[in-house]
Amino acid sequence: RKQLLLMLSQNEADRLEVWAQPINTKDAATFRGKISSDKWIDHARTAFAVDPRIAFSMIMRFPTNSALSSEITQLVQTHILELRTIPEALPFFITPKAVDENSSLLQQLPHWAPCSVTQALEFLTPPYKGHPRVMAYVLRVLETYPPETVTFFMPQLVQSLRYDDDKLVEGYLLGAARRSNIFAHILIWHLQGECVPDEPGKEAAAPKATAFHSLLPAVREKIVDGFTPEARDMFEREFEFFDKVTSISGVLFPLPKEERRAGIKRELEKITVPGDDLYLPTATNKFVRGIQVDSGIPLQSAAKVPIMITFNVVDRDGDPNDVKPQACIFKVGDDCRQDVLALQVIALLRDIFQAVGLNLYLFPYGVLPTGPERGIIEVVPNTRSRNQMGETTDGGLLEIFQQDYGPVGSPSFEAAREMFMISSAGYAVASLLLQPKDRHNGNLLFDSHGRLVHIDFGFILEISPGGNMGFESAHFKLSHEMTQLLDPSGTMKSDTWNQFLRLCVKGYLAGRRHMNGIITTVNLMVDSGLPCFSRGEPIANLRKRFHPEMNEREAANFMVRTCVDAYNKWTTAGYDLIQYLQQGIEK
């Protein structure tokens, strides 16, 4: 026991030392003796005897230690009846192998304590083959959460209908839809977003995919049939209103470009808000109070004519007289489901950072698919793109920040610089994991406080523009003008650069502790047909970027190297130049 306590205390001291000094690259742990496999097995048995939860937390600490993992698996399976109150034990006996063999251990599941939503969702992935006992447990867990909490994972739940041979997931979805109108509406929009538009000349889909797509309208119909008269009335008003707004795009398509703005205004004047309980589909806590009819703007797009419209909204639980503007983009002919996935990961990271008290900024704006290749995208308030900023000045970010916030060293400039730093660090961690490409200046926004916000996630994980040339080789965008703000010395020795590095390292270390939840969220979408899963090994490579085999200091050093590598990497500047030459997007 004493040896185990010493080892765990030493490991915790090492971890806290890294957290306290994230960019001190020396690894104290490497000078200690290696622990043999036999010793790990002893540690596992001792920990399990004291309290099984200590053994499970050791797996969190040493996720790639196979001796530890196999011994704890053995212990769980031997003492299974004593562990029913500990959800952390589940992964040690609910395994793809146990499912294949229909193991008798799975008979324990009806008596097991509920686990987290992300752990439950992992059991919906294909390796678990929709085993009835496992599915019944997962759905019992989901039932313990309010439906509105579960809506965050709606894309994953809809995908799991692919493997739902016993209709257990469908049963859960229909039940939750009866309990919550918002859950029902979000579910219907996602079901519609998964429907495939009929395109002549396209090859027939695989039978499993065809079965999935033919199931979706039937599930939608069952939800609508289950509505009470009041719920049906609200559903019809909500959907009809936003369908009318979305369909303006089709009306504009034949019009010449110069007449489109007037065309939007004409169409908006025909639409009234039918009732005071309509909400923005991308932000269910915002009630719509009206449309600003002069706000409609047609946008440039490779596909059809997306339009931007500003609504007057009030907070569901706020002051009913506090009306604020909220702009949304309505897209037709564009699949925005991949953006939803990227923004889910960004939202998970934001919650992780908040939970550990890290001052890192991410803005996961709302995106919702509402039909085949249709969707609504929330506009990030009070922002302009780096490209738009370039239209008013020839200077770089440093000059623009001085124009907007005052001279270097003034309180307002330094406050804006700090805002830029905490947001750049947040997006550095998110970008390392998601690998978003196409990071030109049209896709980088700055808000009125100086914070950076990334938008448009059409290329993530393994895919990149230009037939996957992989031109942007840095893990995240850190162009020369960004480094001028983050590193005034230009030599990677300034206090602000070191502070930026510390934030990046801490954000990465915090994210690593929730690796499984993030990977599960992405993995459940693997059969969705999204472009980001079309090549390479996206899930295996996502796991590699977390580096579970590294200890805390090694992971911290990896993140420092990643930041140094991104520092003014030539490929980022080269990509901006290509965008400038091709599309006139400012460098």
Distance CA 70, CA 338 (A): 37
Pick 94-227's CATH classification: 3.40.950.10, 2.40.30.20, 1.25.40.70, 1.10.730.10: 1.25.40.70
Contact 194, 216 (CB under 8 A): yes
Q: Does an H or E element contain 379, and which?
A: none
Q: What is the mean pLDDT of residues 45-51?
A: 94
At 328, the pLDDT band (50, 70, 90 cuts) reads very high
pLDDT higher than threshold 80 for residue 118: yes
Q: What is the pLDDT of residue 201?
A: 46
- Residues 6 or more apart whose CB falls under 8 angstroms from that of 489 comprise 497
What are the tens digits of pLDDT across the range 60-106?
Answer: 888 888 999 999 999 999 999 999 999 999 999 999 999 999 999 99
At 466, the pLDDT band (50, 70, 90 cuts) reads low
Q: What is the mean pLDDT of residues 283-301?
A: 89
Map residue 419 onto helix, strand or coil: helix
Distance CA 393, CA 494 (A): 27
Where do the domains of the chain lie? Answer: 1-85, 94-227, 230-334, 341-355+376-583
Q: What percent of the chain has pLDDT over 70?
A: 91
CATH topology of domain 341-355+376-583: 1.10.1070
Q: What is the pLDDT of residue 32?
A: 64
Map residue 313 onto helix, strand or coil: strand
